[in-house]
Amino acid sequence: MGWRDRRIPRNVRAAANLYQRDAIYPLGGNPRIEAEDPARTRILFNRRYFYRGRRIAMAGEPWIRRWWLAGHLKMEYDEEPWLEVERLIRESASPGRP
């Protein structure tokens, strides 16, 4: 997936879209992804994270990156999306899962 891509290729069984759009320039995710072939790919959800006004610890990041990439970096450092990704991976790897 690249910037502004929203079509999920047919070789993907399931996809979830976790994104933010709080950046001061267009480094925000697409609000909606769609399957190239809905018969082969299931879109699990499109979930936006809001970071404006939220404090997320970004230890070691230079101030210029925190300022310029604020929303992007906050999502990178936020535990919540990573826990969601881990949950999705565990669910897809569980026995009996198609």
Q: Give, rounded to a whole angstrom, the gap between the first and last alpha carbons of the chain.
A: 24
Buried/exposed code over 79-92 (b: 16+ C-beta within 10 A; e: otherwise): eebeeeeeebeeee
Q: Is the pLDDT of residue 29 over 80?
A: no
Asked if 20 and 28 touch (Cβ cutoff 8 Å), the reply is yes
* pLDDT computed for residue 23 by the predictor: 66
Number of domains in the chain: 1
Q: Is residue 98 part of a domain?
A: no
**Helix residue ranges, H only, the chain:** 63-68, 70-77, 79-93
Q: How confident is the model at residue 33 (pLDDT cuts 50, 70, 90)?
A: very high
Task: Provide the token pair at 79.
Answer: 């535990």
Q: Is residue 2 part of a domain?
A: no
Q: Is residue 63 part of a domain?
A: yes
Q: Is residue 36 part of a domain?
A: yes
Q: Is residue 50 part of a domain?
A: yes
Q: Is residue 72 part of a domain?
A: yes
Phi, psi (degrees; rounded to nearest 5) at 17: -115, 110
Q: How confident is the model at residue 22 (pLDDT cuts 50, 70, 90)?
A: confident
- Which structural domain, as residue segments, surrounds residue 83? 7-93
Q: Is residue 14 part of a domain?
A: yes
